[in-house]
A = this chain, B = another copy of it.
């Protein structure tokens, strides 16, 4: 994480200014407000603002006049019920805004979630910093042979070293050429007065996809959960999953009851297809169901066995 002294000072000042509000506040989330939480080698995530809390969900579901007036146990039961029965609109009533620094190839996955508001640092308008992502050695994995879009074993020895050298060398060279083409001067080298310098909107095309960018990203609690269900999942690429996992921690500070319901009914729930459900019923009735008699494809059977913790998995 590379934050300049001026940026740290801006953050310190933001954390120094307390005001009084009639709105609901969440002390556990205020504790980390504005603070950059480091991720990967240069990334971070910061909570910039939020609106609402667990109670906002309850209040909207009841279209109530006050701030949610029933007993805590009833509120919790209502949130569990809403989650279980996919009554999703009350969860749209709470909102959160992040400032995220992330590699461009991660940003490209992230942006596919369309139901959010985004303002990205513009490389048409400004110059990107010299920061690029290099995987930690334990993340340098071979292509998975089982999964066309997954990772297999960790690379080792000479090949691993060579890969890291290439990634670093190429990122450094392309960045240096980017800076040369811009000809706007750096700490190390003044601009050449005899050259015009290439337009920023063109020069940026020379950067590699592991270059860091940053953005403001704002979404509601419902869409946040949709994002987390897909991106905090073990099938998600590691580099986006680390962001999602930190966001899940933040969500727990913000809306602890909704987070509990989310883990119970989404993150750690299982979906059984019609055929899988029929097989499970037979298993419960004591029948010995096999891949062959289950009616499932080989791959579906493996997935079901893994879900149920069957020895066949």
A residues bordering B, Cβ < 8 Å?
3, 6-7, 9-11, 13-15, 17-25, 30, 33-34, 48-52, 56, 59-61, 63-67, 69, 77, 80, 84, 86, 89-90, 92-93, 95, 97, 99, 103-105, 108, 111-112, 114-115, 117-122, 124-125, 133, 135, 139-144, 148-153, 155, 159, 163, 166-167, 170-171, 173-174, 177, 180-182, 184, 195-202, 204-210, 214-216, 218, 220, 230, 237, 263-265, 268-277, 280-281, 283-284, 286, 297, 300, 307-310
Contact = CB atoms under 8 A, between A and B. Distances in A.
A15 B23 CA distance: 9
Contacts of A142: 196-199
B148 A63 contact: no
Contact of A22 (B33, B166, B215, B308): B33
A313 to B, nearest CB: 12
Given A66-B13, A119-B60, A202 B265 contact: no
Contacts of A122: 149
A223 B68 CA distance: 27
A272 B136 CA distance: 37
A3 to B, nearest CB: 7
Contacts of A77: 297
Nearest to A108: B108
Contact of A99 (B17, B33, B63): B63
A55 to B, nearest CB: 11
A56 B49 contact: yes
B84 A300 contact: yes
A50 B23 contact: yes
